[in-house]
Structure 1
Amino acid sequence: MEIERINDNTVKFYISYLDVEERGFSRDEIWFNRDKSEELFWEMMDEVNEEADFVMEGPLWIQVQAMDKGLEVTVTRAQLTKDGQKLDMPDDIEERRRMFSNEDGASAATEFDEFEPVFNEPDTKNLEYSYVVTEVDELIPLSRRLQYVPIETALYHFEGKYFLHVSFDEILHSDDDIKDHISVFTEYLQGSPVTIHRLEEYGKEIFKKDALANVLHYFG
């Protein structure tokens, strides 16, 4: 886990999904299991406290951003006035803030009566995904199943494997559509953190567009 101390009241840390799994948690647990997400969060905060000397006192504002390979978490200790009133956070944090505190302002690590989930469900507004296969033929069953679904796909060869990049249109596809389609992709393929930018720069382009349709046409 990488830790960066921003200032006296703010610390940012990054944890990879591999690190999450090595700690005994799965991705599904941290997104959908409240108890597990809280357990992971406080485990990480204990480590932050040890390495960055960030004391968890009073309300905390938490901003969690899902990255390709892990999670970036920004924790800001709310500043209190002399009479114990909380000061508002800056606008950039305010929009996506999460508060972890109890009513009397005691350490948030000791009670969870007013505790909100640390992690929300993955943002369905993520419209791009990558998947990896060893051989192009592995894409044929998926191509047949989705041949009438309007999804933009591209295929690249990179580091000895084939990468299918998938793009959803937020106008054509609702959040529920995206979830349903992703479940189909994960049924057939293994997800990959490799971004389209890396594939375009270092990979060999096989099909720049309509990859699934072309796979079905040329290999099916």
Structure 2
Amino acid sequence: MEIERINDNTVKFYISYLDVEERGFSRDEIWFNRDKSEELFWEMMDEVNEEADFVMEGPLWIQVQAMDKGLEVTVTRAQLTKDGQKLDLPDDIEERRKMFSGEEAGSQEFDEFEPVYDEGDTKKLEYSFVLSEVEELLPIAKRLMYMPVDTALYHFDGKYYMHVKFDEILHSEKDVKDQLSVITEYLQQTPMTIHRLEEYGKPIFKEEALPNVLHYFG
């Protein structure tokens, strides 16, 4: 995959169909299966984050252009207002082109932009975190010992991934925020999806990962 950093808010990358297939996806899946296309997108964004230091924060806009031998994807972080709640986007499409591409108005490369997520508008209930050793979960397991939260642990591509799922009824927004603050003290969040972990990863603990880590490694 080829990655090009356009500016502070925009990154562009190209992936061939051969590379797509080597990652375990087919052309039909990325065009007609939303779950699969999202898995591929976040996997690519994880790679972009590592190589181009492009941190995913707030709403994102994506533009996908189909090429003869692959896909060209442009991703832009939306600018926020001072209160952090609304998108600070020009109404004029030409002005949007300027902001997102860093090029002069009139470019025909960008036509539409659609936010793929906005954490400010929805209550996110599932998260994934990456770690090198299972023992890294011990301090988290001890601190969250009495907190009801679903956790699973998988091994994939030389790393461990803990997936955390909160319950919309059991957990308030404050509960989610407090527990995530504990986890992020020790682990880095990753866009790896539970679907990809279940399909390609090796399950260590499919459920109650933190209690099991505390039991076997504590």
State the TM-score, normalizing by the size of structure 1: 0.55
Match for 1:34 among 70, 73, 81? 81
Q: Structure 1, unaligned stretches of length 5 or more?
A: 3-13, 55-60, 67-119
Amino acid at match of 2:99: E
1:52 is matched with: 109
2:212 is matched with: 214
Q: Equivalent residues in 2 for 1:1-220 (5 A)?
A: 1=12, 16=45, 18=48, 27=57, 33-34=80-81, 38=88, 43-44=99-100, 50-52=107-109, 54=111, 63-66=114-117, 121-220=119-218
- Taking the aligned partners of 1:171 and 1:135, their CA distance within structure 2 comes to 32
CA contact (8 A) 1:124 1:179 kept: no
- 3-state SS of 1:52 partner: coil
- The number of residue pairs the alignment matches comes to 150
Amino acid at match of 1:43: M
Amino acid at match of 1:50: S
- CA change 1:138–1:122 in 2 (3 A) is same
Over the residues paired in the alignment, what is the CA RMSD in angstroms? 3.9
Amino acid at match of 1:188: Y
- 3-state SS of 2:148 partner: coil
Amino acid at match of 1:65: V
Amino acid at match of 2:203: E
CA contact (8 A) 1:124 1:178 kept: no
CA contact (8 A) 1:128 1:165 kept: yes
- CA change 1:216–1:49 in 2 (3 A) is farther
Amino acid at match of 2:154: Y
- 3-state SS of 1:44 partner: helix
Identity across matched positions, percent: 48
Deviations 1:119-174 (A, max 9, x none): x6545522111111100011100100001000000011111111101000000001
- 3-state SS of 1:130 partner: strand
- 3-state SS of 1:27 partner: coil
- 3-state SS of 1:156 partner: strand
- Taking the aligned partners of 1:49 and 1:23, their CA distance within structure 2 comes to 29
Structure 1 position 188, deviation (Å): 1.1
- Taking the aligned partners of 1:139 and 1:53, their CA distance within structure 2 comes to 44
Runs of 4+ in 1 over 3 A off after TM superposition: 14-19, 21-26, 28-33, 35-42, 45-49, 120-124
State the TM-score, normalizing by the size of structure 2: 0.55
Q: Which has the larger radius of gyration?
A: 1
- Taking the aligned partners of 1:183 and 1:28, their CA distance within structure 2 comes to 18
Structure 1 position 16, deviation (Å): 4.9
Q: Structure 2, unaligned stretches of length 5 or more?
A: 1-11, 14-40, 60-76, 91-95
- 3-state SS of 2:169 partner: coil
